[in-house]
């Protein structure tokens, strides 16, 4: 397995793979890998086959963190990530530097952004106004560097996956986006690098999100008619905030592909929620 930090080296390798007629599968990550990421790697391998090449990027992208967010607290362990990638059969890890990705000199600072203007307004976008601009920009850059035929994203970041799909469509990137199901711990907590920050009695409180999802799924499946989104939201909020350290940021019900909010919730609607457990912000979502 190769570990590349230079943008030019990665791009040349990708071009060489293309000349050799190999399909490139790509898993973009911010590192601190867990089983959920590894399942994306296996999925990428399946999609490109034995002759194909699988690349994983490991880059904690500063532009998707707000000024008051946890960039410095974001967990990192490149050595362990490299071991996990090697064991999972990754061909190349691309781990660029901030200076490489966002060059800033005396005469020219980085100044080109990719902005999606519809799907990114609500939910994560409302709570984190500059977040998706950072995500679409870095993902577009990574696509231009790794030149994938298929890129695999996790469904845990449902809105992110929808926005990337829209960007790929709108900007005619020649690749397919594959969205893989959320990996969960045995008690239902969605796997996330941020779970590391759930220490002591915060960890058991974090199943509040899964609890809310299951409750909503059950309410919808037994309801005789569509439920009021406002009422269901209040009920779920109460359920979550019974835990002393859990505080709801948002609970939204929407149509899964357009992300358009619904006021009546019935089977097939999608639920997404963000909850602070202590100071750690967790997100999750599911089809109802
Ligand atoms: O989902 C993530 O880990 C990040 O948002 C991504 C897609 C790697 C971009 O930095």
| Structural domains of the chain sorted by starting position, each given as residue range(s) with its CATH number in brackets | 2-180 (3.40.50.620), 193-287 (3.30.1300.10)
Measured CA to CA, the distance from residue 83 to residue 78 in angstroms comes to 9
Beta strand spans in the chain (E): 2-4, 24-29, 53-58, 92-94, 150-154, 176-180, 227-228, 246-254, 264-265, 270-277, 280-287
How far, in Å, CA of 238 to CA of 232, rounded? 10
Token pair of 255, please?
């149509």
Question: Structure tokens of 109?
Answer: 């600072």
Q: Could you tell me if the CB of 114 is within 6 A of ligand 1?
A: no
pLDDT of residue 68: 85
pLDDT at 123: 95
Question: Could you give phi then psi for residue 174, rounded to 5 degrees?
Answer: -85, 65
Task: State which H helix or E strand residue 9 sits in.
Answer: helix 7-19
Q: How far is the CA of 29 from the centre of ligand 1 (A)?
A: 5
Contact 55, 177 (CB under 8 A): no
- Residue with the nearest Cα to atom 6 of ligand 1? 29
Q: Is 92 in the pocket of ligand 1 (CB under 6 A)?
A: no
Q: How far apart are CA 129 and CA 22, in angstroms?
A: 38
Q: What is the number of the ligand 1 atom nearest to the C-alpha of 193? A: 3
| Element counts in the chain: helices (H) and strands (E) | 10, 11
Three-state DSSP class for 69?
Answer: coil
Residue 120 CA to residue 277 CA, distance in Å, equals: 24
Cα–ligand 1 centroid distance for 223 (angstroms): 37
Alpha carbon of 161 to ligand 1 centroid (Å): 10
Quick check: CB of 60 below 6 Å from ligand 1?
Answer: no
Per the CB < 8 A criterion, the answer to whether 25 and 149 are in contact is yes
Per-residue pLDDT of the chain (288 residues; tens, 9 = 90+): 999 999 999 999 999 999 999 999 999 999 999 999 999 999 999 999 999 999 999 999 999 999 888 798 889 999 999 999 999 999 999 999 999 999 988 888 999 999 999 999 999 999 899 999 999 999 999 999 999 999 999 999 999 999 999 999 999 999 999 999 999 999 999 999 899 999 999 999 999 999 999 999 999 999 999 999 999 999 999 999 999 999 999 999 999 999 999 999 999 999 999 999 999 999 999 999
Using an 8 Å Cβ cutoff, are 193 and 186 in contact? no
Q: Is 155 in the pocket of ligand 1 (CB under 6 A)?
A: no
- pLDDT computed for residue 106 by the predictor: 87
Query: Is 122 in contact with 93 (CB distance < 8 Å)?
Result: no
* Token output for 31: 């590192």
Distance (angstroms) between ligand 1 centre and the Cα of 102 equals 16
pLDDT of residue 197: 92
User: What are the residue numbers of the active site?
Assistant: 37
Collapsing DSSP to helix, strand or coil, 256 comes out as coil
Q: Which residues pair with 284 in a beta bridge?
A: 273
* Nearest-angstrom CA–CA distance, 162 and 153: 10
pLDDT of residue 108: 87
Alpha-carbon span 280 to 48, nearest angstrom = 36
Q: Is 139 in the pocket of ligand 1 (CB under 6 A)?
A: yes
Instruction: Show the tokens assigned to 204.
Output: 């058991």
φ, ψ (nearest 5 deg) of residue 199: -100, 160
């Amino acid at each position: 397995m190769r570990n590349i930090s230079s943008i030019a080296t990665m791009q040349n390798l990708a071009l060489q793979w293309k000349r050799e007629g190999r399909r490139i599968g790509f898993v973009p990550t911010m590192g601190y890998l867990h089983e959920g990421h590894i399942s994306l790697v296996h999925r990428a391998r399946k999609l490109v086959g034995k002759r194909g090449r699988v690349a994983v990027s490991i880059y904690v992208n500063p532009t998707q963190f707000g000024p008051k967010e946890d960039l410095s607290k974001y967990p990192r362990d490149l050595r362990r990530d490299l071991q996990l990638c090697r064991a999972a059969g990754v061909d190349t890890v691309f781990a660029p530097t901030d200076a490489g990705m966002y060059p800033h000199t005396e005469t020219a600072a980085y100044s080109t952004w990719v902005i999606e203007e519809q799907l990114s307004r609500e939910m994560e976008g409302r709570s984190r106004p500059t977040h998706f601009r950072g995500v679409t920009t870095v993902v577009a850059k990574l696509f231009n560097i790794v030149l994938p035929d298929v890129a695999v994203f996790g469904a845990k970041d449902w809105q992110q996956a929808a926005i990337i799909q829209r960007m790929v469509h709108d900007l005619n990137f020649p690749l397919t986006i594959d969205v893989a199901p959320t990996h969960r711990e045995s008690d239902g907590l969605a796997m996330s690098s941020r779970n590391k920050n759930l220490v002591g009695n915060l960890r058991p409180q974090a199943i509040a999100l899964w609890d809310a999802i299951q409750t909503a799924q059950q309410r919808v499946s037994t309801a005789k008619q569509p439920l009021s989104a406002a009422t269901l939201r209040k009920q779920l909020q109460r359920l979550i905030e019974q835990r002393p350290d859990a505080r709801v940021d948002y609970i939204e019900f929407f149509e899964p592909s357009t992300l358009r909010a619904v006021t009546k919730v019935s089977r097939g609607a999608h639920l997404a929620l963000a909850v602070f457990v202590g100071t750690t912000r967790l997100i999750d979502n599911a089809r109802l």
